[in-house]
Every structure is written in C-alpha cells, then in structure tokens.
A = this chain, B = another copy of it.
Amino acid sequence: MATAGAQRSARTRTPVSGLRGGIDLGGTKVQAVVVDARGAVRGQDRQPTPLDGGPGAVVEAMATAMRNAATAAGIPTSQLLGAGVGAPGAIDSAAGTVADPPNLPWKNAFPIGPELTKTLGTTVLIDNDVRVATRAEYELGAGRGYPSLLGVFWGTGVGGGIILDGVPWNGQGAAGEIGHTVVKMNGALCRCGRRGHVEAYAGRASMEERARQLIARGHKSDLLHITKARGADRMTSGVWARALAGHDKLAEQLVDRAVEAIGVGIASACTLLDVEAVVIGGGLGLRLGQPYVDRIDELVRTLVFVRERPPKVLLASLGDLGGGIGASLQVGSSAPVRHHVG
C-alpha cells in the first residue's frame, strides 16, 4: 500500500518531531498516546482489543490506534522517535515478543515488536504493562519526587512494580507481584491456585466470583442487576462503584475486604522494602479513587513496621493514560538495568 511504502522510506530519515509513541495493550482495549519530551500527551486514540483473529488482528488494532494518535498529534508514525508497548504476559524485551498474555488470544511468543516496527515505520520496544505504568507514575505522575516507589495496580488482578532509587527492580524478571503475596495463610483460594493472596480478596475477578457465590446462597445485592443494566457480562469497576454509591451491603463488605487485603499487603511490602511512596492505580483503584486510597493509606500507617515515617500512599495521577505514557518512556532511554553500583 502507498501509505506503508511512504512509511518505509520515512524510516531512513531522522525523526525530528521529538515525539514518542506509547501503546497500552489490555484485554478489552488498546490505548495509544503520543507524548512530547516533557511527558505531555499530544495525541491519543483507543481501539477495542479484537479477541478473534489471533495476534495478527491485535497488532493491527495496535497499529491503528497508534496511527490515529499520531495523526491527532500532526505527524505520521514514521516521524516518531520510536514507540513503546506495555503488555501483559511473558515479555522478552530483546526479542520484542509477548507470550501467553492473560485475556488475549494467543499462547506462543509472538513478535509484536518486530511486526509493529515494520508496520509503523518506527522502532517499537516492549515491556511489561505494570512495570511501565509504575515508571510513568514515578517519572511524571503521583510518584514524582520520591526516590523509591511501589506501584500497585488494582483491577481484574492486582499487579505491582518496584522502583528502587530510580531504577526498576525486576529481580529475575518477575519481581513486584504483590497480588500474589500472602495476607492470610490457608485463606481464600486465588485464581493462581494458591491460597490467601492479596488478589484472592482484592482482585476484581475474585471479588465477582465471591459476590456471585454469596448471591447464589441468598445474600441480597444489586450487583447482578447493575451489571445487566449496563449490558456488561462482567462486574466492571463501574458496576462496583455504582453499587457502592447505592450503599449495596454486599458490595460494601467485599470492597472492605479488598481494602483490608490490599492495605495489609502494601504494609508488608513496605516493611520489607522501606520505600518512600506507594502509588495505587488500576481500573478499580482509579474508579474508586481518593476516598478508598485514603482508607488504604490509613491501614498502611497503622500496620507498617516503622510507624514514625510511614510511606505516602497516593492515587495514581495519570489515570487511564498512565500505561501508554509509561510505554512511551522506553523510547530513547537506556535499556532497563538491574545493577546497583557505588
């Protein structure tokens, strides 16, 4: 196609826009942004994630979102300094592949980076979605100015990212999984198959499962009606927020339980890591917002080991765009490093 041809030849020119692309790949939507050198969003677009058609269709939706965001910013994608992707699943940043992404339609490692690089005419880098969102809040959001940060993403599951004195701590590649730390030995069954994890109490999927069980056992709740009325097949963050607004007792109980589990999990993580701040994002975290972050903050202050200087517990400030903005920060920065040195 003519457009693709123009983009290919554009790759040989030096991009002069100073703009970076970022794509947040989720199970329901693809969010693309164009970000300038100071981190301001200059264009954006959102596409539904196609769940038929395999990884090829998903890559095409990502390319469309990125092209539209670039158009909104007034340039072709080939003029971007590059683009970054934040994706769930097992990421190989060097190869640019994503394997076994939860809620997405493929298993084996798929070369999203190389495919998008070809399609968009600009170099595309890939990292873990939670990790890039943590970095965005650290560099440009609520975590700005704190040397070390724990990012907690409260949504379908509960993910986490760690930055220690400015550098992501990834461990052997999977550090930060606060959702799968234990808050209650032999407690509730987690979707990962083990018991008592933060996510077993606070992950939206686990909360929904528990709500459906209790309703089936005769507990009264409007959660099912609200879900149906919204035409949703899942209890989205909006469904929970609506139920809380209507003082639905069951929703209140389950959210209280979630808040407690997240508060305990964060307190333990901070007792171990002794970081200055915690940023809470994710679909449910953003939707429930400041009043619930304040409740988590209060719990953490009570529970953390060094009570004289508890970590700041903050609501993510980049909202829905944090993932895309964080993804864009991969461009032009050095590769993630894991080494401390003097």
Contacts and interface: CB of A to CB of B under 8 A. Distances in A.
A37 to B, nearest CB: 20
Interface in A249-268: 260-261, 264, 267-268
A176 B305 CA distance: 11
Contacts of A164: 164, 169, 340
Nearest to A257: B185
B272 A176 contact: yes
Interface string A301-342: 011011001000000000000000000000000110111111
A342 to B, nearest CB: 4
A303 B194 contact: yes
Interface string A169-195: 111111111101111110100001010
Contacts of A276: 172
Contacts of A338: 165, 340
A272 B185 contact: no
A271 B198 CA distance: 12
B339 A273 contact: no
Contact of A183 (B167, B185, B271): B185
A196 B167 CA distance: 32
A77 interface: no
Nearest to A337: B342
Contact of A305 (B192, B271, B342): B192
Main secondary structure of the interface of A (DSSP, over half): loop
A148 interface: yes
A166 interface: yes
Contacts of A170: 274
A10 interface: no
A214 to B, nearest CB: 19
B174 A268 contact: no
A184 B182 CA distance: 8
A112 interface: no
A290 to B, nearest CB: 24
B177 A271 contact: yes
Given A173-B274, A341-B341, 11 more contacts: A169-B273, A171-B274, A171-B275, A175-B274, A176-B274, A177-B305, A181-B269, A185-B264, A196-B264, A272-B273, A339-B340
Interface of A: 148, 160, 162, 164-167, 169-178, 180-185, 187, 192, 194, 196, 260-261, 264, 267-269, 271-276, 302-303, 305-306, 309, 334-335, 337-342
In the A-B complex, the 8 residue pairs with the smallest Cβ-Cβ separation, listed nearest first, are A171-B274, A167-B340, A181-B268, A175-B274, A337-B342, A180-B305, A340-B340, A177-B305
